[in-house]
């Protein structure tokens, strides 16, 4: 058996280098020792994967940082670096179907990278006395070796070692806090046991206040607030249990066993739906629970995007359209303004025609507010008008249950629509997602 090289990308039309071919990752164990004041990271990444072809060579995505030891199944493996590609030649080819383990010892000062998708740098962000991660869509490779495409979801264990007194937080449950023998360092261990897309992996280090409580339906609530912002943030996020309740009744059970927010003391003007722990910057923290529709937006992403993940980035409306629609559900619940009137108001503001197609916006317009957030949300209301309330929410719950923990495409969603509605609604989606003219907000 000789095998061939795994592809250098996962085949995404927008990001040809993101992800890799030839294997499937099951689990990442990330052992990170971080000195927050110097932003120095020592990492041991242990990656459990399965070969999906006879593999003579394969890539991981890793940008910057120095790799000093790399082993495949315990044997040293030669590697080269080529931009964001870490190219690995195992001592012996890996047969299709074989489980294997890659361990990468690496170090350096992680830095964010620019992305074609949004005008900010993504990845590991150092902020003086700490750091956090904001990786959508292509920033994960700035801090760990990864198959960086949402199509390859995996579970994660984080062992985060920081100077004692500093807090380290990550996705999932905190399962251990272990002081070093001399007491100078503390290791925080987190387990994310649900499959997670790599851009949703979060590690935050710094001065944080962690507040836990019991939420509805057995969901644990854990908020990680930057200490200076904690008092105000408590008020800003006060209604999270009520939101969990509303969305569980609209969408089906919350998909994970823990939820909360991470509030960082930095102005990024971006919020991100990092799994089980949505990231909020300081801009929104004002000690006023009103206008918490963005809080609802990020929570809704835990269903739409995190539990059910994209198969390719061009389907980004599957994340942002639903999260925007969820804002209206929350506002209707709190302020009594109907979803229909909110959708109509937004429809009135949309341009009569859009060069950016919601179903294929292009990498430069991946997060276009009009085309990717607003128009697909209004489309969902047109769908609801077409099929009626009961069928509409049955569609959402069926889609979420069917693809929970997995990946979906626009066609997968349309498939569920047609099945539940018992009619062919392809025309509606074609008009709203793949043609320039703005359709009327009306039943089809």
270 binds ligand TRP (CB under 6 A): yes
Among 17-25, 32-40, 243-251, 318-326, the segment contacting Zn ion (CB under 5 A): 318-326
Q: Which of 28, 367, 403, 413 binds ligand TRP (CB under 6 A)?
A: 367
306 binds ligand TRP (CB under 6 A): no
Q: Which of 323, 374, 383, 395 binds Zn ion (CB under 5 A)?
A: 323
Among positions 23-62, residues that touch ligand TRP (CB under 6 A) are none
Q: Which two tokens stand for residue 121?
A: 């740098």
Integer Cα distance of 314 and 23 in angstroms: 23
- Return the one option of ligand TRP, Zn ion, none that residue 192 interacts with (CB less than 5 to 8 A, by type): none
372 binds ligand TRP (CB under 6 A): no
Measured from the CB atom, the residue of 270 and 293 that comes closer to ligand TRP is 270
Measured from the CB atom, the residue of 88 and 299 that comes closer to ligand TRP is 299
Q: Is 247 left (phi over 0), alpha (psi -120 to 50) or beta?
A: alpha
In the complex, minimum distance from the CB of residue 117 to ligand TRP, in angstroms, rounded to a whole number: 6
Say how many residues make up the chain.
444
- Order the strands of the 167-170 sheet from edge to edge: 123-126, 131-134, 203-206, 167-170
- The answer to whether 313 touches 240, Cβ cutoff 8 Å, is no
Among 79-87, 201-209, 221-229, 267-275, the segment contacting ligand TRP (CB under 6 A): 267-275
Nearest residue to ligand TRP on Cβ basis: 270
Measured from the CB atom, the residue of 236 and 320 that comes closer to Zn ion is 320
Integer Cα distance of 278 and 260 in angstroms: 7
Q: Which of 85, 271, 315, 327 binds ligand TRP (CB under 6 A)?
A: 271
In the complex, minimum distance from the CB of residue 425 to Zn ion, in angstroms, rounded to a whole number: 24
Measured from the CB atom, the residue of 31 and 278 that comes closer to ligand TRP is 278
Q: Which of 18, 55, 122, 203 binds ligand TRP (CB under 6 A)?
A: 122
State how far the alpha carbon of 43 is from the alpha carbons of 20, 60, 68, 84, in Å.
21, 15, 10, 17
118 binds ligand TRP (CB under 6 A): yes
- Return the one option of Zn ion, ligand TRP, none that residue 125 interacts with (CB less than 5 to 8 A, by type): none
Q: Tell me which residue of 196, 174, 202, 201 sits closest to 187, measured CA to CA.
A: 174
Q: Which two tokens stand for residue 417?
A: 């629509």
At 9, phi and psi to the nearest 5?
-140, 165
Q: Tell me which residue of 49, 50, 87, 48 sits closest to 67, measured CA to CA.
A: 87
152 binds ligand TRP (CB under 6 A): no
Measured from the CB atom, the residue of 273 and 391 that comes closer to ligand TRP is 273
SS3 of the chain: helix, strand, coil, percent, to 5: 30, 30, 40
134 binds ligand TRP (CB under 6 A): yes
In the complex, minimum distance from the CB of residue 205 to Zn ion, in angstroms, rounded to a whole number: 25
Q: Which residue has the tokens 């836990």?
A: 212
Measured from the CB atom, the residue of 41 and 272 that comes closer to ligand TRP is 272
315 binds ligand TRP (CB under 6 A): no
320 binds ligand TRP (CB under 6 A): yes
Q: How big is the site for ligand TRP, counted in residues (CB under 6 A)?
A: 12
- Return the one option of ligand TRP, Zn ion, none that residue 272 interacts with (CB less than 5 to 8 A, by type): ligand TRP
Burial class (CB in 10 A: 0-12, 13-18, 19+), 173: middle
303 binds ligand TRP (CB under 6 A): no
| Cβ within 8 Å of residue 79, ≥6 positions away | 67, 70, 86, 87, 88, 89
Integer Cα distance of 23 and 145 in angstroms: 14
Among 7-15, 103-111, 233-241, 319-327, the segment contacting Zn ion (CB under 5 A): 319-327
In the complex, minimum distance from the CB of residue 293 to ligand TRP, in angstroms, rounded to a whole number: 12
Return the CA Rg of the chain: 22
In the complex, minimum distance from the CB of residue 175 to Zn ion, in angstroms, rounded to a whole number: 29
In the complex, minimum distance from the CB of residue 270 to ligand TRP, in angstroms, rounded to a whole number: 3
DSSP run (H or E) holding 234: helix 230-236
| Cβ within 8 Å of residue 291, ≥6 positions away | none
In the complex, minimum distance from the CB of residue 436 to ligand TRP, in angstroms, rounded to a whole number: 24
| Cβ within 8 Å of residue 409, ≥6 positions away | 311, 312, 315, 318
Q: Which of 17, 61, 85, 136 binds ligand TRP (CB under 6 A)?
A: 136
DSSP run (H or E) holding 383: helix 375-387
Integer Cα distance of 32 and 131 in angstroms: 13
- Return the one option of Zn ion, ligand TRP, none that residue 136 interacts with (CB less than 5 to 8 A, by type): ligand TRP
Cross-strand bridge partners of residue 102: 47, 72
* Residues making contact with ligand TRP (CB under 6 A): 118, 122, 134, 136, 270-273, 297-298, 320, 367
* Residues making contact with Zn ion (CB under 5 A): 320, 323
């Amino acid at each position: 058996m000789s095998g061939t090289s795994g592809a250098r990308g996962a085949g995404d039309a927008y990001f040809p280098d993101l992800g890799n071919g030839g294997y499937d990752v099951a689990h990442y164990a990330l052992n990170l020792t971080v000195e927050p004041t110097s932003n120095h990271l020592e990492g041991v990444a242990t990656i459990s994967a399965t070969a999906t072809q006879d593999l003579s060579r394969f890539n991981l995505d890793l940008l910057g940082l120095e790799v000093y030891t790399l082993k495949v199944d315990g044997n040293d493996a030669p590697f080269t670096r080529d931009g964001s590609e870490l190219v690995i030649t195992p001592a012996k080819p890996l047969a299709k179907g074989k489980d294997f383990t890659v361990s990468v010892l690496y170090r350096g000062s992680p830095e964010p990278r620019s992305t074609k998708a949004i005008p900010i740098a993504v990845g590991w962000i150092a902020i003086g006395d700490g750091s956090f991660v904001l990786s959508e869509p292509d920033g994960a490779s700035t801090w760990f070796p990864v198959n960086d495409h949402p199509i390859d979801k995996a579970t994660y264990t984080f062992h985060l070692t920081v100077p004692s007194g500093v807090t380290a937080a990550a996705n999932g449950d905190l399962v251990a806090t272990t002081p070093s023998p001399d007491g100078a360092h503390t290791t925080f261990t987190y387990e994310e046991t649900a499959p997670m897309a790599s851009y949703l992996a979060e590690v935050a280090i710094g001065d944080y206040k962690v507040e836990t409580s019991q939420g509805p339906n057995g969901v644990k609530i854990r908020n990680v607030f930057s200490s200076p912002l904690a008092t105000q943030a408590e008020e800003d996020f006060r209604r999270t249990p009520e939101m969990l309740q509303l969305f569980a009744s609209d969408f089906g059970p919350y998909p994970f066993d823990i939820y909360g927010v991470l509030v960082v003391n930095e102005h990024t003007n971006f919020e991100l739906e990092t799994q089980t722990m949505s990231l909020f910057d300081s801009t929104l923290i004002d000690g006023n629970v009103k206008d918490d529709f963005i809080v609802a937006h990020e929570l809704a992403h835990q269903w739409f995007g995190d539990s059910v993940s994209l198969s390719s980035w061009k389907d980004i409306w599957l994340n942002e359209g639903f999260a925007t629609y969820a804002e209206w559900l929350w506002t209707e619940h709190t302020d009594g303004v109907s979803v229909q009137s909110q959708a109509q108001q937004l429809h009135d503001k949309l341009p009569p025609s859009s060069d950016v197609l919601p179903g294929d916006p292009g990498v430069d317009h991946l997060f276009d507010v009009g085309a990717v957030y607003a128009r697909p949300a209004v489309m969902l209301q047109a769908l609801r008008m077409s099929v009626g309330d009961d069928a509409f929410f049955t569609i959402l719950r069926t889609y979420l249950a069917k693809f929970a923990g997995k990946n979906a495409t626009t066609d997968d969603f349309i498939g569920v629509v047609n099945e539940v509605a018992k009619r062919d609604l392809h025309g509606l989606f074609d008009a709203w997602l793949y043609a320039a003219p703005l359709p009327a907000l009306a039943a089809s």
